[in-house]
Structure 1
Amino acid sequence: MSAEKIINDWKKKLYKPLYWLEGEEDYYIDQVMSYAEHNILPESEASFNLSVFYGKDADWSAVVNACMRYPMFAEKQVVLLKEAQQMREIDKLESYFENPLPSTIFVASFKEGKLDKRKKVYKTIQKNGEIFTSEKIRDYKLPDWITETVQSKGYAISSKAVMLLAEHIGNDLSRIINEVEKVTVNLGKRKEITDDDIENYVGVSKEYNAFELQDALSKKDLQKAIRIIQYFEGNPKAAPIQLILPALYGYFSKLHAIFGMADKSEAGIKPLFYNNPFAAKQALETLRIYGYNGVEQTLLLLHEYNLRSIGINDTGTEDASLLKELVVKIMSNA
């Protein structure tokens, strides 16, 4: 069951006594938990029938006692357990899960992990309630997610703006939502987000970013690469080396994977690159320029310089100097 389905059921007054929200993607867990806290009960009932616990501070017996109370002047009460992964002796809640009170809606958020499906507690919750697992969105799906999210808010967004957000923020969905809202507030009557808007309101330079450095490397454009690195040197927060190197490594890893694919056509490799035909075409051109040995050598260099960036086999070379060394070696050796 999806987060959307759970919330839609609640809007229709369809409730189960137990909801266990787990997984690595906080955004959907927070979305469901927020709705449970602010929307299931009307304000007049919430003061008597809403209990909120936090795992770090909550005692399991207090949670069970709250769940076993009957609602006051209402049909339902809501008990929330936030950050359940931090709760001591959480396994002792299992006795309540076996026989939950029908008039209680118990919702727990268990972030950064999952219950073992083989264990009795998982099967018990599944039998008497609902388990929602919130998975991290895959990189190749992120641009479509950003586009659909922006459209759901009544706006359009250019493909370049989508790529800037995806490359700069990654799959931190909550942060993407916050940045999109920040941009839309500043659009006035306009209904399309452009790359200029991302530059102006998110703080991502459309000319000097990890995506453009990747583009320079893919074309072996040393002049452009050095120009971008010099911008990073003057603006350290624009693209820290610890973000740049993993992004480049991810790109060249995808190029390396293409060599093992049966279908190496533009259509065949497009899923590796956010289903973006331009990115797929560029990847094939990069393969032509580098070849197998060049891609493999680049991956080795990226690994070496990633270690150096965290102080291994390096006496404290500045980040910009490391990047300059790296791109020169990549373009001359690959």
Structure 2
Amino acid sequence: MDYITMEKKVQQEEVQPFYLLQGEESYMIQDIQQKIIGKALAEGEKEFNLSTFDMRETPIEIAVEEAETLPFFGERRVIVLKNCYFLTGAREKEKVEHKIEALETYARQPNPTTVLILSAPYEKLDARKKVVKEIKKQAVVLEAAAAGEETMKKWMQQFNQAHQLVMSREVMDRFIALAGKDLLMLAEEAKKLQLYTGSGEVTMETVDKLVPRSLEDNVFELVAAVVKGQAKTMLRIYYDLLKQGEEPIKILALLARQIRIIYHVKNLKQQGYSRKRMAGSIKIHPYAVQLAEKPAAAFSHAYLQEAMKLLSATDYQMKAGKMDKQLALELCFMKLVSGQKIGQ
């Protein structure tokens, strides 16, 4: 089941004796794991009834033996098995030898006084393996795939409700676009917002002030400056990036990518694609599509095609050493601004 469903299940229902947390979204796995532990054990019980084993260091049969023992002065014990790599099809040089049949046997009849949590932070498990089949028959399974836009929005809505924060739709979209590289980053930045705001309304100004911008975010601002014909703003952003140690070739590559996105958005919009469908087709965040729609409307096809040629030529000049990299990119920016006026 997905993260949001699993979170509700853990909060609303009795703790189950067997869980499999699988996927590459580390925040989801850690968050659900902590919620299960918190539901199963009181704080004072954790010292005696919570055990964690790293499967890269401990044989599985030792962990299973621990899971089969009764809790100490409590109703339950919780056993966490980290890095269950043996559930995947990957061939790794094993430091320890696992008797997998011990886990297979346990999976058929889990100890009702133990909560066993298997953590497998990998994209896929080997469904052909007998142990995987047995576990999936008995365990409650979290599929911790990379969080999409809807998952992040639901998470933010729950976070805002829990901390009495108010966000408009536009502010939430902006926040997710800046902080939603993954759910871990989103959670960390949301906590910063909450500490700064306390409770009440979160404004666009607060988001822009607190959430750090990536290089790609700054490239969006460069494109916005081109749309408005603001050469000074564009150069200011460029010089700030240079001061931060960003390489001109890297800036150029991201700018070229953004121009290509705008070109695709313009074409797809003319074909009647929705924003969500465009995002799926180009494989980018829907908010990135939203940001690209304004320049897509402002730029002509002819201008975008010429801009891509100019960026390609600048890339060649820089890599061939025909011109100083910083100067080449600065001249490219100036041509983009002047060309934008001509291309309308």
Q: TM-score, normalised by structure 1?
A: 0.74
C-alpha distance in 1, partners of 2:135/2:16? 10
The letter of the residue matching 2:28 is: Y
Q: What's the CA shift string for 1:136-194, capped at 9, x where partnerless?
A: 123x5487457525533321235665455444444222122212211221225x61222
C-alpha distance in 2, partners of 1:220/1:142? 37
Does the residue aligned with 1:209 lie in a helix, a strand or coil? helix
Deviates more, 1:113-122 or 1:102-111: 113-122
Deviation at 1:211, TM superposition (A): 2.8
Does the residue aligned with 2:197 lie in a helix, a strand or coil? coil
Q: Is 1:171 the counterpart of 2:181 in the alignment?
A: yes
Q: Is 1:122 the counterpart of 2:132 in the alignment?
A: yes
Q: What's the CA shift string for 1:231-284, capped at 9, x where partnerless?
A: 2223448x997588448626733642653578436xx23553636996464154
Q: Relative to structure 1, is the Cα distance of residues 192 and 262 closer, same or farther in structure 2, using a 3 angstrom cutoff?
A: same
Q: What's the CA shift string for 1:104-126, capped at 9, x where partnerless?
A: 21112211422133433332111
Contact kept in structure 2, 1:137 and 1:171, CA below 8 Å: no
Contact kept in structure 1, 2:22 and 2:141, CA below 8 Å: yes
The letter of the residue matching 1:134 is: A
C-alpha distance in 2, partners of 1:27/1:104? 24
The letter of the residue matching 1:128 is: Q
Does the residue aligned with 1:115 lie in a helix, a strand or coil? coil
Residue in 1 that maps onto 2:282: none
Contact kept in structure 2, 1:37 and 1:80, CA below 8 Å: no
C-alpha distance in 1, partners of 2:69/2:306? 63
Contact kept in structure 2, 1:117 and 1:123, CA below 8 Å: yes
Where do 5+ consecutive residues of structure 2 fail to align? 87-91, 280-284
Q: Relative to structure 1, is the Cα distance of residues 328 and 56 closer, same or farther in structure 2, using a 3 angstrom cutoff?
A: farther
Which of the residues 214, 225, 239 maps onto 2:234? 225
Does the residue aligned with 1:46 lie in a helix, a strand or coil? helix
Q: What's the CA shift string for 1:36-79, capped at 9, x where partnerless?
A: 33331123433322111234433323222212222233332210
Residue in 2 that maps onto 1:108: 118
The letter of the residue matching 2:264 is: H
C-alpha distance in 2, partners of 1:143/1:112? 20
Residue in 2 that maps onto 1:282: 294
Q: Is 1:269 the counterpart of 2:275 in the alignment?
A: yes
Give me the CA root mean square deviation: 4.3
Residue in 2 that maps onto 1:213: 222
Contact kept in structure 1, 2:252 and 2:329, CA below 8 Å: no
C-alpha distance in 2, partners of 1:91/1:248? 53
Matches within 5 A, 1:123-202: 123-138=133-148, 141=150, 144=153, 148-149=157-158, 151-152=160-161, 153-158=163-168, 161-162=171-172, 164-188=174-198, 191-202=200-211
Deviates more, 1:152-161 or 1:268-277: 268-277
Deviates more, 1:128-137 or 1:271-280: 271-280
C-alpha distance in 2, partners of 1:100/1:316? 69
C-alpha distance in 1, partners of 2:128/2:212? 46
The letter of the residue matching 2:54 is: Y
Does the residue aligned with 1:131 lie in a helix, a strand or coil? strand
Residue in 2 that maps onto 1:26: 26
C-alpha distance in 2, partners of 1:178/1:240? 30
Contact kept in structure 2, 1:263 and 1:269, CA below 8 Å: no
Q: Relative to structure 1, is the Cα distance of residues 119 and 155 closer, same or farther in structure 2, using a 3 angstrom cutoff?
A: same
C-alpha distance in 2, partners of 1:55/1:304? 51
Identity %: 22
C-alpha distance in 2, partners of 1:69/1:315? 72
Residue in 1 that maps onto 2:261: 253
C-alpha distance in 2, partners of 1:135/1:35? 18
Q: TM-score, normalised by structure 2?
A: 0.72
Does the residue aligned with 1:259 lie in a helix, a strand or coil? helix
Contact kept in structure 2, 1:255 and 1:283, CA below 8 Å: no
Deviation at 1:199, TM superposition (A): 3.8
The letter of the residue matching 2:240 is: Y
Residue in 1 that maps onto 2:45: 45
Deviation at 1:35, TM superposition (A): 1.5
Deviation at 1:127, TM superposition (A): 0.6
Does the residue aligned with 2:19 lie in a helix, a strand or coil? strand
